[in-house]
Amino acid sequence: MNITALQRPVSLVEGVCQQLAELIRGTTSLEERWLPAERSLAEQLGVSRTVVREATKRLEQQGMLEIQHGTGIKVVNKLHRPLCDSLSLLIPDVGARLQQLNETRLSIEPDAAAFAAERATKEHIRTLRGVHEQLESSPDNAAAIEADIAMHHAIADASGNLIYRLLLDSLAEIGLASRLRTIGRIGKQTAIEHHAQILEAIERGSAAAAREAMRTHILAAGEDMDLASLKAI
């Protein structure tokens, strides 16, 4: 992990944040999942420990670091947490959250599927097939829900758009709630059939077909959630 002294940017804290973010994005080995101690970071960056402390706090709030007092500064991948933590406060009614979730997914995921059809590599296709097989062979609803979520995340990865994946990660918890009302109520067969259609369209590179298959899937999920009954509660 290479760290260089800063060249005195307008904001030292922002400069440290930027350099640490670059280091974090480049970490691969388990040893690199921990940053050097605060004192060492300050010396290598050529700034005070106060600047390092403020920068690491900011990155922790953004979900890139986890400060474990007495242990060190751990690199994590929780960029979705700030939005995820805000949803229940912003939209306290569960029915409204699920309705708005479906509307958001309709705005994002059909295009993600279309991009995946255009951009998916052979490795992406292998991953998608593997996840689909996990859904088909899932022994219970919990495993089916996990595989369902993984499929949508894999499609976002195949789209080549990291923002799609970050948004889906941010919606993961409420996405779990929606699937408890779909797969949890009616089983996994509909999801299997819809995912197969989406996967087939992606495999043959048809953006239009992938977009339409995903749109059909999400609209059906909205119906299966029985949102009308939630609004009546």
- At 15-47, the pLDDT tens digits run 888 888 888 776 655 556 888 888 888 888 889
pLDDT at 70 over 60: yes
Query: What is the reported pTM?
Result: 0.66
Q: Are residues 144 and 34 in the same domain?
A: no
Are the beta carbons of 3 and 45 closer than 8 angstroms? yes
Count of positions (residues) in the chain:
233
Q: What is the pLDDT confidence band of residue 101, given thresholds at 50, 70 and 90?
A: confident
Residue 106 lies in a domain: yes
- Is there a single domain that holds both residue 26 and residue 119? no
Q: What is the pLDDT of residue 69?
A: 81
Shared-domain flag, residues 177 and 99: yes
The CATH number assigned to the domain holding 23 equals: 1.10.10.10
Does the residue 2 lie in any domain? no
Query: Are 146 and 176 in a shared domain?
Result: yes
Determine the Cα–Cα distance for residues 153 and 214; give it in Å rounded to an integer: 13
3 found inside a domain = no
Strand pairing report for 34-35 and 65-68: unpaired
Query: Are 120 and 148 found together in one domain?
Result: yes
Domain end: 75, 104, 122, which one? 75
Helices and strands in the chain: count of H runs, count of E runs: 13, 3
Say if residue 134's pLDDT is above 90. yes
Q: What is the dihedral of CA 128, 190, 213, 136, to 10 degrees?
A: 10
7 belongs to a structural domain:
no
Tokens describing residue 144? 């089916």
Q: Is 196 inside a domain boundary?
A: yes
From residue 67, give the alpha-carbon distance in Å to each of 29, 54, 73, 113, 190: 19, 12, 5, 36, 43
139 falls within a domain: yes
Question: In total, how many domains does the chain have?
Answer: 2
Same domain as 131, residue 36: no
Bridge partners, 34 (sequence order): 74
Asked whether the predicted pLDDT for residue 6 surpasses 90, the reply is: no
Residue with tokens 């993600």: 112
> How far is Cα 207 from Cα 189, in angstroms, rounded to an integer?
24
Same domain, 223 and 144: yes
pLDDT per residue as tens digits for the range 135-178:
999 999 889 988 998 999 999 999 999 889 888 877 777 667 77
* Same domain (yes/no): 103, 139: yes
Q: What mean pLDDT value characterizes the chain?
A: 83
CATH of the domain at 181: 1.20.120.530
Angle at 94 between CA 93 and CA 100, to 5 degrees: 95
Q: 10-16: list long-range contacts, CB under 8 Å, 24+ apart.
A: 12/47, 12/51, 13/51, 13/54, 13/55, 13/58, 14/55, 16/45, 16/47, 16/51, 16/52, 16/55
**DSSP-H helix ranges across 69-158:** 81-90, 94-119, 122-137, 141-158
Same domain assignment for residues 142 and 217: yes
How many Å apart are CA 153 and CA 167, to the nearest integer? Answer: 10
Judged by DSSP in three states, 66 sits in strand
Assess if residue 218 is contained within a domain.
yes
Range of the domain at 43: 12-75
Structure letter (DSSP) for residue 23: H
**16 plus 119 within the same structural domain:** no
Q: Which residues touch 212 (CB under 8 Å, ≥6 apart)?
A: 110
- The residue among 49, 75, 101 that closes a domain is 75
Q: Which of 57, 75, 93 is the last residue of a domain?
A: 75
